[in-house]
Chain A
Amino acid sequence: MGRAALASRPAESAPVKTTCPYCGVGCGVLMQPKSEGESWQAIGDASHPANFGKLCVKGSALGETLDLTGRLLEPKIKGQTVSVEQACQAVAEGLSRVIQQYGPDAVAFYVSGQLLTEDYYVANKLIKGFIGTANIDTNSRLCMASAVVGYKRAFGADAVPCSYEDLEQADLLVLVGSNAAWAHPILYQRMAQAKREQPHKKVVVIDPRRTATCDLADLHLAIKPGTDALLFNGLLAYLAKHNHLDTEFIIEHTEGLVLALDQAEQTAGHDLTQLAQACGVDEADLTQFFDWFANTLRTVSFYSQGVNQSTSGVDKSNAIINVHLATGRIGKVGAGPFSITGQPNAMGGREVGGLANQLAAHMDFNQPESIDRVARFWRAPKMAQQNGLKAVELFEAVHRGEIKAIWIMHTNPVVSMPDADFVRDALQACELVIVSDNMADTDTTRCADILLPAASWGEKDGTVTNSDRHISRQRAFRSAPGLAQADWWWICQVAQKMGFTEAFNYQTPYQIFMEHVALSAFENDGVISRRDFDLSGLLSLSEQDYQQFAPTPWPITAKQPQGQARLFADGQFFTANRRAKLIPITPQSPKETPSPLYPFVLNTGRYRDQWHSMTRTAKTPRLLQHRDEPRLSLHPDDAKNLGLAQGDLARVGSRLAQVVMPVELDAGLVTGQVFAPIHWTGVYAKHGRVDSLIPSHTDPLSGQPESKHAVVTIQAWSAAYRAGFWTKDTAWQPDDALGYWVKVPKANAMFWHLADKKAFDLAHWQSANPQLGDPDLRLEDSALGTARFAWLDAQGGLKAVLFVAPSVDLQAPYDWVSGLFDQLSLSQNERYSLLSGMAIEQEDVGAIICSCFQVGDKTLRVAMAQGCDTVQKLGEKTCAGTNCGSCIPELKALLAL
């Protein structure tokens, strides 16, 4: 025998550096290939300046979201699979026909903060320069459009002044309308770490809800919804009154203080008692906040969707920016008004001009020379001349039939738009709906005429910009499945078929990026124009440099090739006179006020472990453990008045629609206010589309909807039963009549929360699910109304399990059931556990010999081993055979062995 040879292990492949596809923090991720099969492990990239190696739970689970289940792999026209060529042809012809027949304004693109900058760039170029309309808007409209306008009004440019480091360097952090702990976990961790290291730092959270973020707060101001601007006007007045303004900065670098202060004093300058009352907070708390703010130079105001998603979101951001300008707390270490975006590339979208009220590269339609400049740069035959329709208006135009063709890329407006049912109706009636997505079945793909399979995160290459202006590479680490292609590729194919062959003849994302760089630098020399968005430092970037490009904050110029972390250190802004503007703010109330008919205020937002409409996050069971169904958070007093207990189903209705969800008691809410998450879609829940409740009131300046403030009525939705159903059949659907369901992917099975107003009836269930047949395992308690059923396959493994109960706890402690699905067959103990909900190892007594005393052969053998050698002795020891005696022959036989 020769020596055994060890099989040599394949060389570990190097991890691929990329950027997380979730929130606007933009963390660096290393995707490490795992030895077995096509799987990857996500690890934080220690070299990335956003996260320095940390990842949140969603980011850590990225490797678990890569399976191809549910992916759209082929182009489709009206449900029929077609070739790529046919699909591109159909899109091109469809768009061309509409343009010819109705003009360019009958076409719209609705795109996404999930697109890469390169995708965004060609989409914007096609519609604004070649189709000839600015009807392109993005789902970022729902997220930070107000912040964009706020910055532009104040600084003359959409320029985020801060860097993440400022969060750590600040001595006072004011979080306004942000649940960073859940929505931007890594930034929250950085803030928490800084506070741990320097406990003198103060954190103030301004939010109507006491959220998880309040764990970090020294002070929580639970203001009345919509009183942010009032509060910050009051702060401005207070600062002026107590001589805390930075007069020198104001004189040198700003304008508008007098009017802004005057307005602030008029609206909020009354005594603090009145102001506190108007904001719904304690006067001492209010004074404490004002005092801290007045006396802390290093102050960052960190604001997010709680400010933006409002009919006066722009004013709210300017009210915040005003106090920073008035105190000179901008462009300095640890200071500034810092808007945090929700999406991985909302910023990239802003940079290319992917919003209807932008032109390109931080230029706008309000300057004819800008339009001309871009037209020249693009050699655009048909340059759009004015702003297009913003998201809400855009879908209204679709609904009115003015927009005949819409191309939706990577977003799910039927779920995420306010008055979402209206959007669904609009799309269903629209002549040509093209949807590019990587998932086959979403609420929006259900409305599509043409479906284009898009490459997903991990399959496409390009750049993204995060909330502190860092441009990072997103890199492919595997090839796109089926016929999926990058969005830029689809757009270019269609553009070429529309006749724009030369302008869209890109072969790589690098080529697009370089054109984007060139446009940012085009006539941006400070003489002809001076624009904040400037990548001129990258003009000579080679393709290899692009491949290896490290995260860099723009502007990137020859002078500052490493970019610039903090803007405005020189006090020079991008307005015509280089001064920042303070804006007089008149605080506005939210559009809708509670009434006897709709007495509750509905706030909406994110859950910690879910992302948008769940197309990726629902792929991993891990991320559904935190919350696996959408819940209505309700103050315990309100719940009591409504006769609702934790876990009860409640119907939430606005004048537009209604949803049904279980109640989660939350004493962190103020009575009269309720909260629900935005994530659940028609694919995952029968009645979970919270945005269908939201009226489409928008900020007149930003067009951003007031998604965090709707008035609703709440009633108990009295279920006759609640049920949990696990099935191996991933295609299973509840029958249409069922009143309530939520679908929850699990590792080995699909899980469904089910409920109905009609009592559970097994016969009815079986007739609705004939493929299941008679249950193999059954446990029923008629008086309690509880029942458990299981269906087994031929090997005795689980096919399906159904638990029925009159009520169900919120955190159903049933996760172990899913675990049983990976077993080929169930033992008797496991079957008992399944039905009883308890895991108990029953003593195995062996085959029963004595029925009367339930003595098994194993027990008898033990007794025999201990010396019982006659029937009588066995009887004395174990009782076997001492009643009816029927087993005595068997006892004898056993003894004779």
Chain B
Amino acid sequence: MSSAKPKLCIIGLGMASMRLLDELVKHRATEQYDIAVFSAEAPAGYNRIMLSYLLTGEQTLASVTSHTPEWFAQQGIDLHLGVKVTAIDTTQQRFTTETGEVFCYDRLVLATGSNASRIALPGADLAGVHCFRDLQDVAQLNDLAVQDARPVMVLGAGLLGLEAAYGLAGKGHRVMVVHRSDRILSQQLDAMAGRLLQKAMEQQGIEFVLQRQLAEIQGTHQIEAVRLNQGEAFEVKALITAVGIQPNSELAKQAGLLVNRGIVVNNALETSQPAIYALGECCEFEQQTFGLVAPIYRQATILAATLMQLPTRPFEHQLSATRLKVSGIEVFSFGDPNQLGDQLVLQDPSLGLYRKVVLVDGVIQSAILLGNTQDANWLFELHQQQIKIDNSQRSALLFGEAYYERAAA
């Protein structure tokens, strides 16, 4: 190991890290750096978005693993799996792992991701209370006995909660989703879309209890029952909490980096310490943290260029679109789902179709597409380019580009 190349270390191997690696490979970064990746999880780089499909068994770990140990070997990148970094010494530019090993770096990238928010209730640490964030969670949920007729309760009907619910229902569990708001996926959907998606999921056997919060967890070692804030009580065999994520910034904090909720970065993804960068769900830019892939992928592109001393645009906030498939139903959304303005609505529940586009002063501010998300990108581009929509073409927006063009004719 007598290479003269500077050492680039990356802590974490999630969606952000993998995209950064792809970008670096594209720039032939291994010719310039010795690159090493440290992942606390044992398996190699898998697609976390696919967790629910792993749970149902629709996909296998192999099929969702894009960055295998062989890939790392081929690229000439050191891979340290199951290695948890516990401390960073910024003055010496080195860090220590759980097992006491010490590694030096010339550039350090923190891509430590996030942790599920914990619920602050007695009993939150009982057996049978899970998160749904990683392969370990999947493994534990896989052990739940299907023949146990008691429901699995999922707390939170956001993206993760719904994915977990879908995965569990697919395994044959009775699933009950408890959600604080009056609609599911309330960050992304309006009331109608929420209702439609809920209906579709209910048809797959998933039950919903809306406008409720968890009040009590009962059980001695193992969770046995829960009580909701309106008094309803349910015997459950497990509780999955999916009430949000928190940037995993503990390591950076201990190292003396500037941390608020996440590791504070500037528009070049630099932290408060020289030679240390952060991206992904662990970082915080202009008081905002991240949970969707789109901005994180932009960060990866920018950071890769920065590391390679290539010209690049600074990172900035952009409205991000959410695209996902919940229970096989395509969902696309950007902007405030409850945006006020000129509302355009298209609905065809028998096709599972719902579309809403909201314009303010003729410019698209937000959109929700449910069912058929064809035309989603086109709508998003119209928004990003702030195209002023002519009145004669407005309602055609809902039907997609071909209709929109025809309406102009």
Residues of A within 8 A of B (CB): 774-784, 786, 792, 796, 828, 831-832, 835-836, 838, 840, 842, 845, 848, 851-854, 883-886, 888-889, 892-893
Contact = CB atoms under 8 A, between A and B. Distances in A.
B124 to A, nearest CB: 30
Given A792-B350, A886-B47, A851 B345 contact: no
A886 B330 CA distance: 13
B49 A884 contact: yes
B64 A840 contact: no
Interface in B17-74: 47, 49-50, 53, 59, 63-64, 66
Contacts of B317: none
Contacts of B395: 779, 781, 784, 786, 836
Contacts of A832: 399, 403
A842 B405 CA distance: 12
B346 to A, nearest CB: 5
A796 B350 contact: yes
A783 B342 contact: yes
B359 A783 contact: yes
A840 B50 CA distance: 36
Contact of A848 (B50, B53, B373, B407): B373
Interface centre among A778, A796, A893 (most CB of B within 10 A): A778
Given A836-B399, A836-B403, A854-B374, A782 B343 contact: yes
A598 B250 CA distance: 86
Nearest to A782: B343
Contacts of B396: 836, 838
Nearest to B354: A778
A885 B50 CA distance: 9
A777 B47 contact: no
Interface centre among B325, B402, B406 (most CB of A within 10 A): B402
Nearest to A786: B395
B64 A828 contact: no
B334 interface: no
B399 A835 contact: yes
A885 B47 contact: yes
Contacts of A775: 347
A728 B374 CA distance: 32
B342 A782 contact: yes
A840 B293 contact: no
Contact of B346 (A792, A835, A848, A892): A835
Q: Which 5 A-B pairs give the minimum distances between C-beta atoms?
A: A783-B342, A778-B347, A782-B343, A780-B345, A889-B63
Contacts of A851: 323-325, 330, 332, 373, 376
A888 B345 contact: no
B325 A778 contact: no
A838 B325 CA distance: 29
Contacts of A854: 373-377
A840 B407 CA distance: 11
B377 A845 contact: no
B101 interface: no
B346 A778 contact: yes
B6 interface: no
Interface in B372-392: 372-377, 391
A848 B349 CA distance: 18
A575 to B, nearest CB: 71
Contacts of A784: 342, 391, 394-395
B297 interface: yes
A845 B395 CA distance: 23
Given A851-B323, A854-B377, A884-B323, A838 B347 contact: no
A840 B376 CA distance: 18
B348 interface: yes
Contacts of A893: 63
Contact of A838 (B294, B330, B348, B406): B406
24 contacts: A775-B347, A776-B350, A780-B343, A781-B343, A783-B394, A784-B394, A792-B350, A828-B351, A831-B348, A832-B403, A835-B346, A836-B407, A838-B403, A838-B406, A838-B407, A840-B399, A848-B373, A851-B330, A852-B323, A883-B294, A884-B47, A884-B293, A889-B50, A889-B59
Contacts of B324: 851
Contacts of B342: 781-784
B400 interface: yes
Contact of B402 (A840, A888, A889): A840
A883 B343 CA distance: 30
A880 to B, nearest CB: 13
Nearest to B391: A784
Contacts of A792: 350
B245 interface: no
B146 interface: no
B398 interface: yes
Nearest to B347: A778
B344 A781 contact: yes
Contact of A780 (B293, B344, B399): B344
B107 to A, nearest CB: 25
Contacts of A883: 293-294, 297
Nearest to B359: A783
A832 B398 CA distance: 9
A477 B10 CA distance: 94
B374 A779 contact: no
A685 to B, nearest CB: 30
A784 B407 CA distance: 15
Nearest to A840: B402
B51 to A, nearest CB: 11
Contact of A889 (B53, B349, B373, B375): B53
Nearest to B377: A854
B347 A777 contact: yes
A888 B47 contact: yes
A347 B293 CA distance: 86
Contacts of B66: 885, 888
A884 B325 CA distance: 12
B347 A779 contact: yes
B234 to A, nearest CB: 31
A831 B398 CA distance: 13
Interface centre among A776, A792, A884 (most CB of B within 10 A): A884
Contacts of B349: 774, 776
A819 to B, nearest CB: 19
Contacts of B347: 775, 777-779
Contacts of B64: 888-889
Contacts of A840: 399, 402-403, 406
Contact of B348 (A776, A781, A786, A852): A776
Contacts of A848: 330, 372-374
A495 to B, nearest CB: 62
B402 A842 contact: yes
Contacts of B377: 852-854
Given A836-B395, A836-B399, A778 B350 contact: no
Nearest to B375: A854
A838 B407 CA distance: 8
B200 to A, nearest CB: 15
A78 B175 CA distance: 63
A271 to B, nearest CB: 58
B374 A845 contact: yes
A851 to B, nearest CB: 5
A584 to B, nearest CB: 65
Nearest to A888: B66
A778 B345 contact: yes
A140 B359 CA distance: 61
A781 B394 contact: yes
B400 A777 contact: no
B376 A886 contact: no
Nearest to B342: A783
A784 B389 CA distance: 13
Interface centre among B346, B349, B374, B402 (most CB of A within 10 A): B346
A886 B403 contact: no
Contacts of B374: 845, 848, 854
Contacts of B343: 780-783
A853 B351 CA distance: 21
A848 B348 CA distance: 18
